[in-house]
Homo-oligomer: A and B are copies of this chain.
């Protein structure tokens, strides 16, 4: 578009968008036909002279969502625009996840949830009465070795309460020290029934952790920093429902995995609704692993993460 056309386009855009004149009037005013006015407006929008923005905390990036769906064969994707303030990213994503959950159709009768800071936020932001009579099941062992004890349970309970339903907890350690102990525990009737309930949930909601010193597993004492370093050395990018995966979405350390209580990755992969919530730049790698390996059917994330996933040169 050359200089003078551009100037004309600006003039046209002003009269049309700011003065609310019709294309006809603008044309008459500037001595051009209304078709030319229409075309100039189209170009002005394309070129970026005219920018139309939707400014709202709950706004989404539908174009990016479509790309994600197509690229990774997802059932759905929710992408929230990046707020000006970094601090705002995770609340926005959590809010979006809460909104999404409340809008899932058919309404999930039972919901399998993992736990963590992200999910906790989702639970907090969920609208009271988001559904009626939901059965919430914890799908992986909860933290119980340290002070934050109870957060895992809290998340599930909050989601259940707000959905006028009830929560079924899995109040056992996330990772056990001996494979035998784990097997023994899983044979326990109570535990087994919770596992069964979890396995048959009509939807799953979970997040992912980054493999690093700040991992909840280190924080809560299940793993040492050295353990995590080793996992990273073996290619771990993060954990999903307590299980560490590499960039291909494969279990990194089968021995460790054998000691981990909770739903298996294959069960997630087979699920109808596996809603994955991730926010923040640190989680780009895990997010990519999850998405490319088909661990989720729905992703809820922020724009930066979405772009990181799409920029892949695959």
Contacts and interface: CB of A to CB of B under 8 A. Distances in A.
B55 A48 contact: yes
Interface string A34-63: 000000000010001111111110111111
A77 to B, nearest CB: 14
Interface in A128-170: none
Contacts of A6: 56
A54 B7 contact: no
Interface in A3-22: 6-7, 10, 13-15, 17-19
A47 to B, nearest CB: 10
Integer count of this chain's copies in the complex: 2
Nearest to A48: B55
Q: What interface size band does chain A fall in?
A: 20 to 34
Given A18-B61, A44-B54, A51-B55, 16 more contacts: A7-B58, A10-B54, A13-B54, A14-B54, A14-B59, A14-B60, A14-B62, A17-B52, A18-B62, A19-B62, A49-B54, A49-B56, A50-B55, A51-B52, A51-B53, A51-B54
A54 B15 CA distance: 11
A18 B61 CA distance: 8
Nearest to A63: B18
A128 to B, nearest CB: 13
A60 B14 CA distance: 7
Contacts of A10: 54, 56, 58-59
Contacts of A61: 18
A84 to B, nearest CB: 14
B62 A55 contact: no
5 contacts: A10-B56, A19-B62, A50-B52, A50-B54, A53-B53
Given A10-B59, A59-B10, A18 B54 contact: yes
A18 B50 CA distance: 13
A82 to B, nearest CB: 16
Contacts of A55: 48-51
Contacts of A52: 17, 50-53
Interface string A289-309: 000000000000000000000
B54 A53 contact: no
Interface in A83-105: none
Contacts of A48: 55
Nearest to A15: B62
Nearest to A9: B56
A190 B34 CA distance: 53
